[in-house]
Amino acid sequence: MNRVRSAAITLVSPRGAVFLLLAIMLVAITVLNPNFAEPGQFIRFVQRVAPIAIVAIGQYFVIVSGEFDLSMGALITAQVVIAGNLIGQDESKSVPVLLFMIAFGIVVGIVNGLVTTLLKVPSFIVTLGMMLALSGGVLFWTGGAATGNPADGFRQIGRGGIRDVPIVDIIPFSVIILVVLLALAIWFSKRPFGRTLIAIGDSSTAARFAGARVWQVKTTAFVISSLTATVSGVLLVGYAGVHPSVGQGYEFIAITAVVLGGVVLGGGRGWVVAAVAGAFALEALFTLLNFAGIPSTLRDAIQGGIIILAVAYSATTFRARRKGHSTQTLPPGKEPDANDGPAQPAPQMSPATGSEH
């Protein structure tokens, strides 16, 4: 009984709300289009979300550490164009080019991270500059037109899958990649790295005093973010083909998804699973609008309204719940609810005010 109640409380809490939203969306889609609930259809839906969800995982790590990554979309485009131009029809080049793309992603992440942490440039500006440089560079290289088309074998990563599976018929590779990356991400966030990242996002000064190497951890977060953009790019090559505008807007979609998942901009609070659920909720919303026959031009308007409402909901609820509670969010299973002892917050408050002297 008590467990049911606390589960219900979690569902309406900021972190749980995204799952509630997602459930409502999925039910609504199923009502409009019963076929959607069939396993085969559903797995297609998951496949469609995979690139967004993967980018959201990367953006989660950056946002929770208190930074932004606006360069993701441009990096996706860059990777897609690299794959298209360098692999061409020569299947044997797939592996070396893939390795090159990963290296390129790592370099972009390291540059973003180091300029942000060591040169103290706000990450908004660093990644904005990176975005301009990458997208300008890609367009310069391709002359602004769609060029190249990677070999079919490479495109299979994004569009193919394990065939003849009972029930769902096909398990797309992208779904498998998403599951693996999500598992990795959960593992990362439970390790010291993930905990340090959240501590840094909450207060980078306090984390530094506690002995964290802020620049290393944040740079790692940027590298993770760039790597997820790379993976997403590889999937999109198979799915959408090569086009200089393929990754356009992904940075804002990723940020929206992460924020829908209750992750606080400015860092220090959030759960990677909820961020992925945010990506699913966003895509479910688009699917729903599609099925409901709403003109695609209004999609943006509705998306805008929903994200404002979702964040307003979590911000106002969180404020109400925060009174008398500590702000810790880990571990994910334990939502601080009304039963938590009021003794916790007190010892955390006093050192915070005194530490500057």
Partner 1 sequence: MSTAAVRPRRRVPLDSTLIVYIALIGVIAIGAILVASVGRNFFSEGNIRDILTGMSVLGLVAVGQTLVILTGSLDLSVPYVISLSSLLAAETMKGYSGNIIQGVLIALGIAAVIGLANGLIVTKLKVNGFIATLGIGLIVKGYLDTFYKGSSGSVPAEFQYIGATGIGPVPISTIIMLALATLVFLFLRRTRTGHHIYAVGGSLDVARLSGLRTAQPIIVAHVICSVTAGMAGLLLASRLGVGSPTVGSQGGYDLLSIAAVVLGGTLLAGGRGSIWGTIGGVAIFAVLNSVMSVMQVNPFLKDVVRGVVIVVAVAVYTGRVIEQRRARYGTKEVAK
Contacting positions for partner 1 (CB under 8 A):
70, 115, 119-122, 124-126, 128-137, 139-140, 144, 252, 255-256, 259, 264-266, 295, 297-305, 307-308, 311-312, 315-316, 319
Give the nearer residue to partner 1 in terms of CB position, either 128 or 206.
128
- Look up residue 176 and give its two tokens: 């498998």
Give the nearer residue to partner 1 in terms of CB position, either 68 or 188.
68
3-state secondary structure of 121: coil
Nearest approach, Cβ of residue 51 and partner 1 (Å): 20
Give the nearer residue to partner 1 in terms of CB position, either 64 or 234.
64
Rounded-to-integer distance, Cα 75 and Cα 81, Å = 10
Rounded-to-integer distance, Cα 237 and Cα 240, Å = 6
For the stretch 175-196, what's the b/e string if a residue is b when 16 or more beta carbons lie within 10 angstroms of its beta carbon? Answer: bebbeebbeebbebbeeebbeb
Nearest approach, Cβ of residue 237 and partner 1 (Å): 21
Give the nearer residue to partner 1 in terms of CB position, either 115 or 168.
115
Nearest approach, Cβ of residue 135 and partner 1 (Å): 6
Give the nearer residue to partner 1 in terms of CB position, either 28 or 311.
311
Between CA 107 and CA 343, with CA 197 as vertex, the angle to 5 degrees is 175
DSSP string, 142-180: HTTS------HHHHHHHH-EEEEETTTEEEEHHHHHHHH
Nearest approach, Cβ of residue 57 and partner 1 (Å): 19
**Are 59 and 127 in contact, with CB atoms under 8 Å apart?**
no
Nearest approach, Cβ of residue 115 and partner 1 (Å): 6
Give the nearer residue to partner 1 in terms of CB position, either 73 or 172.
73
Q: Scanning the structure block, which residue is given the tokens 């501590």?
A: 199
Nearest approach, Cβ of residue 258 and partner 1 (Å): 10
Rounded-to-integer distance, Cα 47 and Cα 240, Å = 12
